[in-house]
Structure 1
């Protein structure tokens, strides 16, 4: 085989590896699980959190929390409408769902067994957009897309929730700069070594490492890639999945242990994507709600959740 043919084949192989389109359904309990799950018409999903065979979705329109069974595709309303958004979601090992409240500037903690609201925290008032949340052993951290801060909700012994005013606001310093237009801070996860946080700035496509004790930020060095429209983040080991919502793409990043540098090793696309906002893992697959930002919402607009194979 001559050099020119080898070069062409290598280029084709590289292109295949860097764009993965996957439609195969997941398997659970020996049977195929749905590759697409329908949400209620008009729901306008934003966040997703998973626990076992269940996924939880928040409505950016009404604040309703919907629980879907990823095995059979069925679902039910867990928590009714609040009249304010429900955006980023995370479930802890105690079965509590932490909910970012968007323009309401708040957070709620919901019992996933009963749907009861266990606590509510008012972080800020307008202008504010409490967007996403990550959980550690000692705290929950929330991003605000309208302010250069994180909100820290400390967790006591046994995961005890603080009083209504028991949160702190952490100003961000260092490399991060708030810009005047578009969505700033968005998704948030822990670093692989679990000592810091990673956040994405949607309007600039930059990825930052944050010291949660001080608020000092540094750029994560990912040569040759900008995370334009970066939204939800998911960390699995040293692999970071960055959802780029309006690009209908997930960037797959291999990070170093401290989360200071990374390399984009693949991108995942799928024809069923329709502006997915974030991602969660369950049953060996990645699940993404289609927010459909480019479709005018009506009470009968259909919304779906798409399952793809992780890279």
Structure 2
């Protein structure tokens, strides 16, 4: 083979090698931005959103998209904010003698259901106008901690309505909501089993439900445990492995359960067994921005927790109250 033929053969070899190298380069280029995005998401810092003018805080609910609702614990004021934008504004100026503890947003019907703490009440607001749709007197009202006073603490949505907890009585309350979005007459469910223990200042606290509504999950602050509850019979049973001191608000997503340990300034994530009888902790979430978080809402891969600042007193004396967004 002469020199010219050799050069032509070598050029053909280089061209053939260049094609897979080019493809490999394109693949690497396409993967690198995704990898960088994942790394950025993992390293995303905690975000703090101040509730302007709030004098206390306790509940938070996820709305449509990146919208959240949060409440002024003692005044009942409702704030509406945006997790993505990091903003919050006053949305509902509640009438006097209302309170805002746990809350959930019923997106299908445009309703916000709010637990009223020691008022013994529950409220249903319109998420469109902020108007009061319904008010319920579920239990006795009075000073927090007084004998016989109900503490309507948290709420969970199920098909056909919502369940409310009472932290001082062994009862749950169900508020039905029709297909047209009209709230109906509330009814009471008596608890039995370990969740019925009312020996502490705060007993049954947070509540969630499976998507079909056939099983409820409640946290019990006094017992530092999490239980399942049958919504028909009221029978409760422990979720083995879910032992959580200072248990407050809870969040269920599939077989992942997040439990807030309020005064411990952390949130523990559990993996639940398919039958919900056992739980294994698989992540502990902390933040320097936490100030006694109480309840949480989920936004994609982010948790939004509301700071109650009970570390400053009861009622709290903090000058600001915040929502803190952290990695879930």
TM-score (norm. length: structure 2): 0.79
- CA–CA separation in structure 2 for the residues paired with 1:139 and 1:207: 22
CA RMSD of aligned residues (A): 1.9
Please tell me whether residue 139 in structure 1 is matched to residue 145 in structure 2.
no
Of 258, 262, 284, the residue aligned with 1:267 is 284
CA contact (8 A) 1:192 1:235 kept: no
Q: Give the SS at the match of 2:270.
A: strand
Task: Name 2:268's counterpart in structure 1.
Answer: 251
Query: 1:298: Cα distance to partner?
Result: 7.0
Unaligned runs of at least 5 residues, structure 1: 1-21, 26-33
Number of aligned positions between the proteins = 276
Query: 1:102: Cα distance to partner?
Result: 0.4
- CA–CA separation in structure 2 for the residues paired with 1:24 and 1:125: 45
Task: Name 2:133's counterpart in structure 1.
Answer: 118
Greater helix proportion: 2
Q: How does 1:3-82 map to 2 (within 5 A)?
A: 24-25=44-45, 35-51=47-63, 52-82=65-95
Q: Give the SS at the match of 1:176.
A: helix
- CA–CA separation in structure 2 for the residues paired with 1:113 and 1:48: 17
CA contact (8 A) 1:275 1:292 kept: yes
Distance 1:103 1:303, change over 3 A: same
Of 221, 236, 257, the residue aligned with 1:202 is 221
Task: Name 2:199's counterpart in structure 1.
Answer: 180
Query: 1:23: Cα distance to partner?
Result: 7.0
Distance 1:288 1:134, change over 3 A: same
Q: Deviations over 1:61-115 (max 9, x none)?
A: 1000011122322322211133321101100122210000101111111111110
TM-score (norm. length: structure 1): 0.84
Whose Rg is larger?
2
Task: Name 2:325's counterpart in structure 1.
Answer: 307
Q: Which has the higher contact order (CA 8 A, sep 6+)?
A: 1
- CA–CA separation in structure 1 for the residues paired with 2:306 and 2:280: 26
Query: 1:48: Cα distance to partner?
Result: 0.2
Q: Give the SS at the match of 2:325.
A: strand
Distance 1:249 1:300, change over 3 A: closer
CA contact (8 A) 2:219 2:248 kept: yes
Of 89, 100, 120, the residue aligned with 1:86 is 100
- CA–CA separation in structure 2 for the residues paired with 1:74 and 1:190: 29
Distance 1:200 1:253, change over 3 A: same
Moved more, 120-129 or 74-83: 74-83
Please tell me whether residue 291 in structure 1 is matched to residue 308 in structure 2.
yes
- CA–CA separation in structure 1 for the residues paired with 2:296 and 2:66: 15
Query: 1:300: Cα distance to partner?
Result: 7.0
Distance 1:170 1:255, change over 3 A: same
Q: List structure 1 runs of 4+ shifted beyond 3 angstroms.
A: 191-194, 296-300
Unaligned runs of at least 5 residues, structure 2: 1-41, 142-148
Distance 1:205 1:108, change over 3 A: same
